Amino acid sequence: MASNKMNASTSNAPKSALFQPLEIGGLTLPNRIVMAPLTRARAGVERMANEMMAEYYTQRASAGLIISEATVVSEQGIGWPQSPGIYNDEMAERWKIVVDSVHEAGGRIFLQLWHTGRASHSDFHDGDLPVAPSAIAIEGDGVHTPSGKKPYEVPRALETNELPGIVEDYRKAAERAKSAGFDGVEIHSANGYLLDEFLQSKSNHREDQYGGSIENRYRLLGEVVDAVTSVWPNDRVGVRLAPNGSFNDMGSPDYIEQFTYVARQLDQYGLAYLHVMDGTGFGFHELGPAMTLADFRKVFSGTLMGNVGYTRESAEEEIVDGAADLIAFGRPYISNPDLVERFENGWPLADAADMSVWYSHDAEGYTDFPTYQAESKQHESCGAK
């Protein structure tokens, strides 16, 4: 347990870079610590946000910004058991429970928009194959389905005339996110899901205007960004990229050229931020040097967010050096609902949550992690007996 002396000296120290406010899109973030999107599978088989999810996010409302778990924009986009959706009006209404609770606690929250693409299974789609830019299966140990883990299937390649409908799904999801009261949205174009699959030459072997060249592979993401920014102000929309990632069997030989081009295109929008998974702890394709925030800073002039494997110290360094404006933390937020306060006061982090409870579908390993102060009071109470 941290001593009172340490707490006092820490509180009198100058505010570190992590705790300087930042404005995006007229929102004032009180600190640079972002809660990263974390799939937690608590939305039930009906894929509706609920009171338990509201409690979970509200416990973490001291983050400068919360990015919600990935939320599917259509039934076709489903690829994870009990993940939430935003593809009908009832879903939007249920998300209000979460958003209102976070706002009442003084927090800010963006909704992450998701289509899983080939990282899905026919079990989610009444026997229909998952869709992708090309009929190329993920090589891996299998996909979690409602009836257990199963081998990946060869997906169905999307027809060119289907793509405007997918873009429209994102636009409608953005509208519903707005009606639910979210502060903004993040477009998930990372980690081997549909938009990332289109970006990367490894998974996109198309011969139409959505494949073949770096420019063509970017086309679908560009159309989605155009659609979403027709609903939201540009500076309330973020985009997430994973240039170094191997998750879902990704990693393309021309990754540097592809993601440099993508960042240049996105720089023209004046987005809320570009969220780059610049770390390698989530899987690294090892096809060359890892792309860094400094690489993106050369071609993207807006707000940059780093993610994957950061500590309080390394996050501080990136912000002080000017490489990043925000740093997102994922796994530490599972067992540390008060991560901001722990960082600010120099309190130790809780032990990492066991992976067995990450997706347990109930409150265990979800809303039952105490804050440092609550834990300290419990220890003091036990000591007094």
- Which is the catalytic residue, given 193, 210, 218, 255? 193
HSE value, Cβ hemisphere, 13 Å, CA-based, for 350: 24
CA distance 224 to 233: 14
Q: Is 152 a catalytic residue?
A: no
Can you list the alpha helix ranges (DSSP code H) found in the chain? 4-12, 51-59, 89-104, 163-179, 194-199, 214-228, 255-267, 293-297, 312-320, 332-335, 339-345, 372-384
Neighbour count for residue 22 (Cβ, 10 Å)? 17
CA distances from 119 to 36, 192, 323 (A): 20, 7, 32
Helix, strand, or coil here: 239? strand
Neighbour count for residue 327 (Cβ, 10 Å)? 28
Amino acid at 35: M
DSSP track, 47-89: T---HHHHHHHHHTTTSSEEEEEEEESSSTT--STT--B-SSH
Could you tell me if 62 and 144 are in contact, meaning their C-beta atoms sit under 8 angstroms apart? no
Q: Which residues are catalytic?
A: 193
